Amino acid sequence: MENWVIIGLGNSGDKFHNTRHNLGFWFLDLLAKKQNLKFKFSKTHHAYFTFMHFNNNKIYLVKPDTFMNESGRYLSNLLSFFHCSSENVILIHDELTLPLGNLKISKNKGAGGHNGVASVISGIGNSLIRFRLGIGSKPFDQMKLSDFVLSKFSKPELSLLEDQKDSFLKAIFSIFENGLSSTMNFINQTTRSQQPL
C-alpha cells in the first residue's frame, strides 16, 4: 500500500468561501463529501485532514490552515508524519491561465506566479503533481489581481463548476486507477480541444 497526500489550497475563514482562490478547498470538500469523510483539525500540523483508501492506496486529504502565501510552511513535517514522499503529493489549486471549469494536470513545473503554489514548492519541492482548476482571467486589465482571485463566483459560474465536478472527480481517481501519464494525456488533450480558436 502506498501513501498519498492530496493538498487543496485556499484561505481559511468563512469570508473566503466560494472565492476563486479557494478552489482547492472546494474540490477537497467535494471529494470528502463523495467519500463520506469528515475533516479534523491538527494543531501540530496547522491543517485540516482526513483520509480514505482507494485501489490499494491510503490517501490523505489536507487543507492547510494558513493564509494562501504560507501554505507550504508546515507541509514537510506533515509529509514525514504521513510517511509520504513529495512525489506522491497532488496539489489542487486555482489556475488563472485556464478558462473557468477547465482542468490541466502537470508535474515538475514552476509556480507560475501563484503565491500559494510557490510556498508549497518552497516547502516540499516541485516534484509534486499539480491539479490546476481554471478560474479564467481578470474581466478587465485595470482590476487588481488580488481583487479578482478573492472575488466570489457568480451563480452561473458556480453552476458551471457544479456541471464539471464529476469530471474533476473522475480525473483524480483516474490517477490512482490508470496512472499519471495516461490521465495527464487524456485530460490535457481534452483541455486543449476546449480552448477557443
Enclosing H/E stretch for 170: helix 155-178
pLDDT-derived band at 191 (thresholds 50, 70, 90) equals: low
Distance of CA 86 to the CA centre of its chain: 15
- Annotation marks residue 114 as catalytic: no
Give yes or no for residue 114 having a pLDDT over 90.
yes
Active-site annotation holder among 17, 21, 46, 114: 21
Give yes or no for residue 194 having a pLDDT over 70: no
Residues 23-51 pLDDT 10s: 999 999 999 999 999 999 999 999 999 99
- As a whole number of angstroms, the distance between CA 25 and CA 94 comes to 10
Cell triple for 35: 467519500
Domains in the chain (CATH in brackets) are: 2-194 (3.40.50.1470)
Q: Which three cell numbers stand for residue 149?
A: 482571485
pLDDT digits (tens, 9 = 90+) for 152-179: 999 999 999 999 999 999 999 999 999 9
pLDDT grade for 196, boundaries at 50, 70 and 90? very low
For a pLDDT cut of 70, what percent of the chain falls above it?
Answer: 96
Task: Tell me what the mean pLDDT of segment 149-154 comes to.
Answer: 96
Which strands sit side by side in the sheet containing 103-107, from one edge to the other?
Answer: 40-42, 47-54, 57-64, 2-8, 89-95, 129-134, 103-107
With 0.85 as the threshold, say if the pTM is over it: yes
Q: Which long-range contacts (CB under 8 A, 24 or more apart) does 181-185 make?
A: 183/105, 184/105, 184/106, 184/107
